[in-house]
Structure 1
Amino acid sequence: METTEDVGRVLVIIPTYDERENIESIIGRVRVSVPEAEILVADDASPDGTGELADRIADGDDHVHVLHRSGKEGLGAAYVAGFRWGLERGFDVLVEMDADGSHQPEELPRLLTALEGHDLVIGSRWVNGGRVENWPKKREALSRGANTYSRLLLGFPVHDSTGGFRAYRATTLTKIGIDEVTSQGYCFQVDLTLRTVRSGLRVAEVPITFVERTHGASKMSRDIMVEAFLKLTQWGLEHRLGRLTGRPDA
């Protein structure tokens, strides 16, 4: 079994906006599940004091760091900022994880193990063994539909390209050009998946159990869903046009 020592230095990036009720618990669970890993809380100036609470935790734990951002700029921007922070400090693996407990830290060792022979590992809800708990049927149908739409339109084999629990090798993020990424939400995850596949890199999916948050409100909005639909459609049309012109990855 591959450990964090095998994959190198691991940074778990946890974006936050009004996650005061969740942040202490999720940090504690990560520290127990992967003790060698370090954590970066990327806080978008949460009005509820999430950033200040994260600072107090970091003061007592040298494996926890806090990146204070100027305002609510979106999930994609927070992750890109976190990636840059980690790459500048020489981390070998950068992990995306939600703050609300929907991603189980106890499953992170399996994602890191799967990095052996791969460049990106996605914790997948929609492969054999993956599942969701306490999700409304409407939300499940939306996620399944978005992923099927992405897979068919963009021509790649990934079943959960919108999934936000994932581990990247640093070399992957460097190669796919994260500084060029401006998309958010569902779209951000699909964008990075597509860039990874089209760069000829290796993607693995590991089944996970996704648990609906118990505290706080979801950050998913109508604007994020509309952006995702429009972007996916644009990328899909470009992909099909590229196949017709002999440039499928343009």
Structure 2
Amino acid sequence: MSLHTASDNWDFYSCSIEEKPHSTMVNLSLHDLAPIRGLDWFHCLEVLLKSPNPQNGMTTSDEFEPLSEIEDFIARNESESLRYVARQTGDGRRKFYFYATPDFKFSDIVDEINQAFPTYEKSTFNFEDAEWETYFGNLYPNAMAMNEIANRSVFLLLEEHGDNLEVLREIDHNFIFKNREHAEQLTKTLEEKGFKVSTSTRGLFKKSYDLLAQRVDAPRQLDPITFELKQLADELGGEYDGWGCSVQSDSE
């Protein structure tokens, strides 16, 4: 996919909409820029998939090329008056989402796509959304989705080094606390959950309490685990500072 600028940061997460699996790809970089004044109208272009996966309604390899071409066309037509912000796939459909100026003729973009890809059935809708509530409330990842995104970056790094994410091994989880009592509370909770916990301190006057919690798990199963650990740390005013592990291949 062609990006609007080199600094844009696109990533995806899974979600359920009306009890059906969906995947959302969104430009995370816009979070600190939005709402972009002048781009007050939200537009959606919905494309009906021709050969969705019958099990989950998602895309298949058969449609990778034409859908990529549609998205490349969309990206090439971005301007100061039209910003492509996200796409969502599921239930046999792919939806492309935009923000545009009130006078932007979105129908012209749709007409060009219809001419270039006439075999796809399409529909559109739009509404005023000057505060970008749809981007923040429906498209930008929530805490659980951000956890999935963060874990995926570690998964990819492990796989680049030949790791089998299904193999059990000791996982290191790191926490940072400013309050000793809160650190001790979390230590007790973690030990009840089967973690081995060690604590170290930093600083002379304003001490920081660093917790290392270790337990045997498979990296592939970490999404719900790390989400819970982050919640536990947040509730006690601490910070979950990520996880790490050794590389394990099939041969080990």
TM over 0.5: no
**Structure possessing the higher radius of gyration over alpha carbons:** 2
TM-score between both structures, scaled by the size of structure 1: 0.24
Structure with more of its chain in strand, by fraction: 2
Structure with more of its chain in helix, by fraction: 1
